[in-house]
């Protein structure tokens, strides 16, 4: 009954050494990167505009919002949790931002919005980790509450008196690269460094693999079980700030169904919903795959009604192929 | 590990059946429901406790309840089905289209519609079941994908424009029809719920559903065909979503392409409020019924009291979290 670092993989493969598990994990990312490249190749064959510099910047620009949310979702899924409330929390933070901008300067309003997101995440995290309630249910409840607070606080109207000057946080170019893309790159670097290079990051993996073993090893399981939800809430708020800065308006429905996009991106990136397995690089690849599909369908003038089918189909196909390949790899 | 499994899966028939019918926390929930009803009745005795209003609430709950019967089976196996709202809309579109092609406004046409709705639902249920049971992809991801696919297909077929060419006899006979004063929708729903509850509590199919959710490994060793059973459960959920799509068509006289976006989460919330565990193996149909009805009563009560309906979602979220907290407490007390 020895505790392996990865029970999910261990049950699938029988008693093997961690090094093989780690190598498989690495190969998974490579496979998903391969899928992304194949997809990019197909799309550039189908549309001459796909591989232009301006469109590649477009793809990055479209990746920012969902990419930011997906980082928080990666943290949550790594500990074996799930956060269905990201869209509602983003909407709530957006409404707070819009209301705060009427009274306060931009930095204060941004702080209030991020603090709102972090606070809601803290509540979810405490209910889940301290009171031991199922993450799916708690965040489902918070999702409902958050969305109705959006309506109540905004008076059921879009807030569109956002000062133009807030666009500076998105459209300031640094060496020709817009700030929102730079922020995304820095966020992924920081998240990658945190998850792979620090004790906190390793604790998060340990909790997702086996919370009981992590507790027995003296790690502060409670703190690192709450932290991902706080990160997820705060990053949802950051994501809506970038979105609001672009469209200069907040709708009480803002952020609807972000949770599904974010979960899909994380899972396409190879993370296990049981926790303990997944990487931030994988998530980035997952985000890019999702955004490339949307972008490609738009470029080819495909009816937007196809998008649900195409994205749903590609997610399932990716996992099916992945399952078949890894089953063969495991049999060897 | 193995020693606890048999008692978990198959306790002696009597108590198991009783708990399957009543569910574990459903008595406390019933109390919550009674308190809510009493409160709203005292606040607005002239409006809330009227027969018309009660039938109104029952009609509002009916389509969700049909979805929740399938959802309860799925969640009892430890799975989840997010695709039910997409499948509902898709089935409604297929049924409407089939009835347009058949033409006429008579019972055979209506039957064609129902058969096509159920077949459409069964097709998506089979896709879900195959990918989850045979290909062993997590249910959350599969049904997230098929939700997008089924809703997208419905939009593609209709080009985004609702089909409102629904036979009058369907709308008048089933949608707003009454039988001895009771809406036909409510009667149909009651039959489905009771049949679903009895099958769950008293048949081998129901027992396997609990067993698969409690311990798939133990089932495999007891030579229960786990994958085959999961396939059937998702098929059932699909067919019931098809029926719900048909009922929605009858009630609203149109395909309501964008009218069901949160049905899946409402249904899951209701099932969980009703005490069915998301980890599978424990819960029951009675709890599901109460869990679906509580939010409907809350919304109706808020409207009757003149409160903004948005507060209903706050209340439902709080009840949802309160219900799992209560469930957690009860488990801890029992385990002590």
Question: What's the average model confidence in pLDDT over A130-136?
Answer: 86
Q: What is the pLDDT of residue B170?
A: 83
* B313 touches A at CB < 8 Å: yes
Name the residue with higher pLDDT: A198 or A14: A198
Is B182 exposed, middle or buried (CB count within 10 Å of its CB: 0-12, 13-18, 19+)? middle
Tell me whether strands A177-178 and B182-183 are parallel, antiparallel or unpaired. unpaired
Instruction: Supply the pLDDT for residue B10.
Output: 43
What burial letters (b/e) apply to A45-84, b meaning 16+ CB within 10 Å? Answer: eebeebeeeebeebbbbbbbbbbbbbbbbbbbbbbbbbbb
User: Is the Cβ pair B148, A312 closer than 8 Å?
Assistant: yes
Q: Which residues of B touch A82 (CB under 8 A)?
A: 140
Asked, for residue B257, whether it belongs to a domain, the answer is yes
Handedness of CA A3, A6, A11, A17 (dihedral sign): negative
What's the average model confidence in pLDDT over A294-309? 81
Model pLDDT, residue B182:
86
Res A178 pLDDT > 80: yes
Helix residue ranges, H only, B10-106 = 13-22, 26-43, 51-76, 84-102
Q: Which residue of A has its CA nearest to B312?
A: A148
3-state secondary structure of B25: coil
pLDDT for the residue numbered A6: 43
SS3 B75: helix
Which chain B residues touch A308 with a CB distance below 8 Å?
A: 147-149, 151-152, 155
Signed CA dihedral, A294, A262, B315, B261: sign only: positive
pLDDT (0 to 100) of residue B8:
41
B58 half-sphere exposure, CB direction, 13 A CA radius: 20
Q: Is residue B140 part of a domain?
A: yes
Torsion angle of alpha carbons B192, B60, B92, B185, nearest 10°? 50
Q: Is the pLDDT of residue A63 over 80?
A: yes
Q: Which residues of B touch A92 (CB under 8 A)?
A: none
What is the enclosing helix (H) or strand (E) of A173?
strand A173-174
The whole-number pLDDT of residue B190 equals 95
CB contact under 8 A, B317 and A151: no
Residues of B in contact with A312 (CB under 8 A): 144-149, 152
Contacts of the segment A98-103: beta carbons below 8 A, 24+ positions apart = A98/A154, A98/A159, A98/A161, A98/A162, A98/A244, A98/A250, A99/A153, A99/A154, A99/A159, A101/A161, A101/A162, A101/A163, A101/A166, A102/A161
Which pLDDT belongs to residue B50? Answer: 85
- For residue B182, the cross-strand partners are B179
Considering only the beta carbons, identify the residue of A133, A264, A307 that sits closest to B328. Answer: A133
Task: Over range A145-163, report the average pLDDT.
Answer: 88
The reported pLDDT for the residue numbered B109 is 87
CA distance, residue B19 to nearest chain A CA (Å): 22
Which of helix, strand or coil describes residue B183?
Answer: strand
The more confident residue out of A238 and B145 is A238
Q: Would you call B145 and A315 a contact, using CB atoms and an 8 Å cutoff?
A: yes
Q: State chain A's mean pLDDT as an integer.
A: 84
Q: Tell me how far CA of residue B274 lies from CA of A107, B134, B189, B265, B335, in angstroms.
A: 45, 30, 18, 14, 21
What B299-302 contacts at long range (C-beta under 8 Å, 24+ apart), as own/partner pairs, is B299/B60, B300/B40, B300/B48, B300/B53, B300/B56, B300/B57, B300/B60, B301/B36, B301/B39, B301/B40, B301/B43, B301/B48
DSSP state of B179: E
Instruction: Collect all residues of chain B within an 8 Å Cβ-Cβ radius of residue A316.
Output: 131, 137, 141-142, 145-146
Whole-angstrom distance, CA of residue A283 vs CA of residue A72 = 10
Distance CA B65, CA B189 (A): 7
**B316–A contact, CB cutoff 8 A:** yes
In a domain, B198, yes or no: yes
Distance from C-alpha of A105 to C-alpha of A102, rounded to nearest angstrom: 8
pLDDT > 90? residue A141: no
The CA-based angle B137-B141-B145, given to 5 degrees, is 115
β-sheet bridge partners, residue A178: A173
Q: Which residue has the tokens 């009954």?
A: A1
The backbone torsions φ and ψ at residue B179, rounded to the nearest 5 degrees and listed phi first, read -125, 110
Domain span including residue B76? 62-261
Nearest-by-Cβ selection for B155 from A134, A305, A323: A305
b/e per residue B165-178 (b: at least 16 CB within 10 A): ebbebbbeebbebe
pLDDT at A198: 92
- A133 conformational bin, left if phi > 0, alpha if psi -120 to 50, beta if neither: beta
**Partners of A174 in the β-ladder:** A177
Distances B266 to A259, A331, B38 between C-alpha atoms, Å:
16, 41, 24
pLDDT at B329: 76
The region of weakest confidence among A61-70, A321-330, B300-309 is A321-330
Higher pLDDT, A54 or B71: B71
Candidate from A143, A149, A323 with C-beta closest to B135: A323
For residue A60, pLDDT beyond 70 = yes
**Chain A contact for B179, CB < 8 A?**
no
Confidence of residue A23 (pLDDT cuts 50, 70, 90): low
Instruction: Work out the pLDDT band at A171, boundaries 50, 70, 90.
Output: confident
Question: In chain A, which residue's Cα lies nearest the Cα of B130?
Answer: A320
* Residue in chain B lying closest to A145 (CA): B314
Range name among A63-72, A247-256, B27-36 with the lowest pLDDT average: B27-36
Q: Which of A126-140, A222-236, A268-282, B273-287 has the highest mean pLDDT?
A: A222-236
Do A144 and B278 make contact, defined as CB atoms within 8 angstroms? Answer: no
Say if residue A156's pLDDT is above 80: yes
Among B residues 263-282, those touching chain A with beta carbons less than 8 Å apart: 265, 268-269, 272, 278-279
- Mean pLDDT value across residues A204-218: 88
Interchain proximity A323–B137, CB inside 8 Å: yes
More confident residue, A302 or B80: B80
Chain A residue with the nearest C-alpha to that of B321: A138
Supply the DSSP symbol for A250. Answer: B
Total domains, chain B: 1
Higher model confidence: residue A60 or residue A14? Answer: A60
- Output the six-digit token pair for A161: 């008196």
Q: Is A250 left (phi over 0), alpha (psi -120 to 50) or beta?
A: beta
B155 CB neighbours in chain A (<8 A) are: 305, 308
CA distance B327 to A138: 13
Query: Which one of A66-75, A207-216, B246-255, B300-309 scores highest in mean pLDDT?
Result: A66-75
CATH number corresponding to A31-326: 1.10.3470
For residue B296, CA distances in Å to B33, B270, B274 come to: 11, 10, 14
**Cα torsion at A109, A110, A115, A120 (round to 10°)?**
100
Strand partners of residue A250: A159
Closest-CA residue of B relative to A134 is B324
User: Which residues of chain B have a pLDDT value below 70?
Assistant: 1-26, 331, 334-336
Long-range (24+ apart) CB contacts under 8 A made by B193-199 are: B193/B65, B193/B66, B193/B69, B193/B285, B193/B289, B196/B69, B196/B70, B196/B72, B196/B73, B196/B285, B197/B21, B197/B69, B197/B284, B197/B285, B197/B286
Average pLDDT over residues A232-238: 96
- Of chain A, the percentage scoring pLDDT greater than 70 comes to 89
* Mean pLDDT across A230-235: 96
Q: Which of B152, B271, B299, B319 to mutate to test the interface with A (most CBs of A within 10 A)?
A: B152
Residues of chain B contacting residue A144, judged by C-beta atoms under 8 Å apart = 265, 269, 313-314, 316-317, 320
Give the residue on A whose Cα is nearest the Cα of B261.
Answer: A257
Chain B residues closer than 8 Å to A313 by CB: 145, 149
Using CB atoms, which residue from A132, A143, A308 is nearest to B152? A308
Of A134, A303, A323, the CB nearest to B156: A303
d(CA A207, CA A223): 11
Q: How confident is the model at residue B6, as a pLDDT?
A: 38
Q: Is residue B180 part of a domain?
A: yes
Residue for token digits 């089935």? B91
Residue B158: Cβ within 10 Å count: 18
**Contact criterion met (CB < 8 Å) for B131 and A316:** yes
Question: What does chain B come to in residues?
Answer: 336
Token readout for B108 is 């055979």
| Contact across the interface for A148 and B313, Cβ inside 8 Å | yes
Q: Would the pTM count as exceeding 0.90?
A: no
Q: Is residue B175 part of a domain?
A: yes
- Containing A178, the helix (H) or strand (E) segment is strand A177-178
Min CA distance, A316 vs chain B (Å)?
A: 6
Global ipTM: 0.72
Residue A307 CA to residue A220 CA, distance in Å, equals 43
| pLDDT number for residue B71 | 95
Nearest to B317 among A145, A264, A303 (CB): A145
Task: Choose from A124, A309, A321 for mutation: most chain B CBs within 10 A.
Answer: A309
Per CB-CB distance under 8 Å, the chain A contacts of B270 are none
- The reply to whether residue B317 touches residue A311, judged by beta carbons under 8 angstroms, is no
B321 touches chain A (CB under 8 A): yes
What local confidence, expressed as pLDDT, does residue A124 receive?
A: 95
- Return the closest-CA partner of residue A67 out of A293, A276, A238, A310: A238
Which of A131, A144, A310 is opposite residue B313, by nearest beta carbon? A144
> Is the confidence at residue A106, as pLDDT, over 50?
yes
């Amino acid at each position: 009954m020895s505790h392996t670092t990865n029970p999910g993989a261990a049950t699938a493969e029988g008693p093997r050494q961690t090094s093989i598990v780690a190598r498989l994990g690495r190969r998974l990312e490579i496979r998903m990167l391969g899928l992304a490249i194949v997809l990019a190749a197909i799309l550039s064959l189908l549309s001459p505009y796909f591989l232009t510099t301006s469109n590649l910047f477009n793809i990055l620009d479209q990746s920012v919002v969902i990419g930011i949310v997906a980082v928080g979702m990666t943290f949550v899924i790594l500990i074996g949790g799930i956060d269905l409330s990201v869209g509602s929390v983003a909407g709530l933070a957006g409404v707070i931002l819009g209301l705060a901008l009427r009274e306060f300067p931009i930095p204060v309003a941004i702080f209030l919005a991020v603090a709102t997101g972090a606070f809601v995440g803290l509540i979810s995290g405490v209910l889940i980790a301290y009171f031991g309630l199922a993450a799916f249910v708690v965040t489902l409840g918070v999702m409902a509450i958050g969305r109705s607070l959006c309506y109540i606080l905004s008076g059921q109207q879009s807030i569109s008196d956002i000062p133009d000057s807030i666009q500076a946080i998105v459209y300031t170019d640094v060496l020709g690269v817009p700030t929102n893309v730079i922020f995304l790159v820095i966020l992924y670097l920081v998240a990658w460094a945190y998850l792979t290079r620090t004790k906190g990051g390793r604790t998060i993996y340990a909790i997702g693999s086996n919370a009981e073993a992590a507790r027995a090893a003296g790690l502060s399981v409670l703190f690192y079980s709450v932290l991902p939800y706080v990160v997820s809430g705060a990053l949802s708020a950051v994501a809506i700030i970038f979105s609001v800065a672009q469209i200069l308006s907040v709708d009480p429905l803002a952020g609807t169904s972000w949770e599904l996009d974010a979960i899909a991106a994380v899972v396409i990136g190879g993370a296990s919903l049981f926790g303990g397995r997944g990487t931030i690089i994988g998530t980035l690849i997952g985000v890019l795959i999702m955004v490339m599909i949307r972008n490609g369908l738009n470029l080819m003038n495909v009816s937007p009604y196809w998008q649900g089918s195409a994205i749903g189909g590609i997610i399932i196909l990716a996992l099916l192929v992945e399952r078949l390949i890894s089953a063969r790899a495991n049999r060897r | 590990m193995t020693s606890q499994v048999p008692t978990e899966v198959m306790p002696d028939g009597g108590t198991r059946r009783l708990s399957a019918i009543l569910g574990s926390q459903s008595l406390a929930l019933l109390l919550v429901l009674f308190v809510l009803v009493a409160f709203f009745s005292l606040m607005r005795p002239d409006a809330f406790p009227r027969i018309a209003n009660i039938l109104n609430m029952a009609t509002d709950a009916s389509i969700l309840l049909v979805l929740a019967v399938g959802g309860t089976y799925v969640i009892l196996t430890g799975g989840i089905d997010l695709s039910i709202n997409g499948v509902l809309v898709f089935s409604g579109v297929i049924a409407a289209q089939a009835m347009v092609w058949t033409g006429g406004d008579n019972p055979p046409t209506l039957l064609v519609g129902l058969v096509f709705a159920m077949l459409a639902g069964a097709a998506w249920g089979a896709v879900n079941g195959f990918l989850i049971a045979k290909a062993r992809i997590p249910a959350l991801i599969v049904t997230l994908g098929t939700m997008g696919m089924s809703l997208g297909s419905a939009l593609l077929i209709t080009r985004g424009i609702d089909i409102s060419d629904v036979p009058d006899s369907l709308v008048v006979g089933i949608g707003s029809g009454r039988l001895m004063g009771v809406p036909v929708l409510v009667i149909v729903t009651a039959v489905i719920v009771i049949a679903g509850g009895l099958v769950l509590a008293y048949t081998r199919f129901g027992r396997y559903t609990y067993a698969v959710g409690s311990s798939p490994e133990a089932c495999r060793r007891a030579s229960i065909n786990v994958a085959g059973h999961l396939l059937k459960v998702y098929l059932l959920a699909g067919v019931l979503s098809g029926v719900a799509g048909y009922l929605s068509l009858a009630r609203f006289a149109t395909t309501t392409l964008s009218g069901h976006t949160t049905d899946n989460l409402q249904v899951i919330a209701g099932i969980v409020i009703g005490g069915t565990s998301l980890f599978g193996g424990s819960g029951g149909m009675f709890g599901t019924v109460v869990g679906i009805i509580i939010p409907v009563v809350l919304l109706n009560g808020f409207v009757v009291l003149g409160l903004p309906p948005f507060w209903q979602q706050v209340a439902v979220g709080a009840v949802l979290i309160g219900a799992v907290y209560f469930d957690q407490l009860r488990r801890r007390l029992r385990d002590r």
